[in-house]
Amino acid sequence: MRVKVLGYSSADPNKVVARYRELEKINDDTYTYLYERCERNQDQDRLSIVLKIENIYFEADRCSRGYLQGHDLGKTGSEYVANFRTKIEEDMQAGRHVNLLNVRVFEALGWDSKPLLEYREQRAARLEAEWKQEQEQKTLAAEQAAREAAEKERQRLKMAKADFVAGKDIPSADFITLCRQAGVPIPLRTHGTLNARIISVNRDGTLRYYRIRGKRRPDATGCFKLIRTYVDVLAGYPMGTF
């Protein structure tokens, strides 16, 4: 049998349209039509399940042909149709989604769809407000986490500076950061050596470095000079005094 069926537009999922479909009858309430054929396996054919209320047909779901085996589709469809209005009212009371297709079915049947439309608008506004609140909370949490991380890093570098002043070894990466904080310029070559070959430094000029097979020990002349400059700055001497 060929009838008009309400369903979502394939071009616009937010639009409901009526198209003629060739239906296969399951019972007076429930029908199917072939939505998409699977050439390799007939059980994987996609079927659209169509329900009928009074003289209005509408798409309720889609499933594979194989899924219907062992399921009493007619009974399920009839129960859905019999409880259609009650189910929508329960969904609204529970705050669940009421889709646009159900609104259009109400309109096609001549039923009052205003409560459904108002509910959809109110729910959309509530969800938008909740989403915005969630995003604000995430932003605040991220900012707090960033502040805590920055404070943790500040304290860690404070300890690194104290260790350096006390003559202890500190990682070369921390030494680079401390020099930047003190406004001590780092020549590009020295920066590269510190990053690539130096493990740790101390105020006495002792360096630990990575040994690379086949390569000489790094030229740490610039590193030694940078350490002396930083030590002078810590002592209160202007850069370039000596």
> What are 40-67's pLDDT values in tens digits?
888 788 999 999 999 999 999 998 888 8
Residue 142, domain member (yes or no) = no
- In sequence order, the 6+-apart residues with CB closer than 8 A to the CB of 20 are 2, 3, 4, 5
**Same domain flag for 108 and 7:** yes
**Do 12 and 27 touch, CB atoms closer than 8 A?**
no
User: Considering the domain boundaries, does residue 53 fall inside one?
Assistant: yes
Q: Give the containing element (helix H, strand E) for 185.
A: none
Q: Are residues 89 and 24 in the same domain?
A: yes
Provide the domain limits for residue 194.
151-234
**Considering the domain boundaries, does residue 88 fall inside one?**
yes
Q: What is the pLDDT of residue 242?
A: 43
Q: 75-98, pLDDT tens digit by residue?
A: 999 999 999 999 999 999 999 999
**Predicted confidence (pLDDT) per residue in 157-173, tens digit:** 999 999 999 999 999 99
Question: Quick one: 178 and 229 in the same domain?
Answer: yes
Of the residues 55, 88, 112, which one is the last residue of a structural domain?
Answer: 112
Based on the domain organization, do 93 and 170 belong to the same domain?
Answer: no
Do 48 and 104 lie in one domain? The reply is yes
34 and 85 belong to one structural domain: yes
- Is residue 70 one of the residues assigned to a domain? yes
The reply to whether 35 falls in a domain is yes
**Could you give the CA distance from residue 193 to residue 176 in angstroms, rounded to a whole number?**
11
**Statement to judge: residues 71 and 155 lie in one domain:** no
Residues 6+ apart with CB under 8 A from 139: none
Classify residue 144: in a domain, yes or no: no
For residues 24 and 88, state if they share a domain. Answer: yes
Give a yes or no: residue 194 inside a domain: yes
DSSP string covering 133-154, please?
HHHHHHHHHHHHHHHHHHHHHH
State whether 189 and 106 are in the same domain. no
Cα 131 from Cα 80, distance rounded (Å):
32
- Per the DSSP assignment, residues forming a β-bridge with 51 are 30, 58
pLDDT in tens, 184-230: 999 999 999 999 999 999 999 999 999 888 888 889 999 999 999 99
Q: Both 105 and 9 in a single domain? A: yes
Instruction: Please check whether residues 41 and 108 belong to one and the same domain.
Output: yes
Q: Give yes or no for a contact between 120 and 104, defined as CB atoms under 8 angstroms apart.
A: no
The answer to whether residues 158 and 63 belong to one domain is: no
The number of folded domains in the chain is 2
Residue that finishes a domain, picked among 112, 136, 162:
112
Does a structural domain hold residue 141?
Answer: no
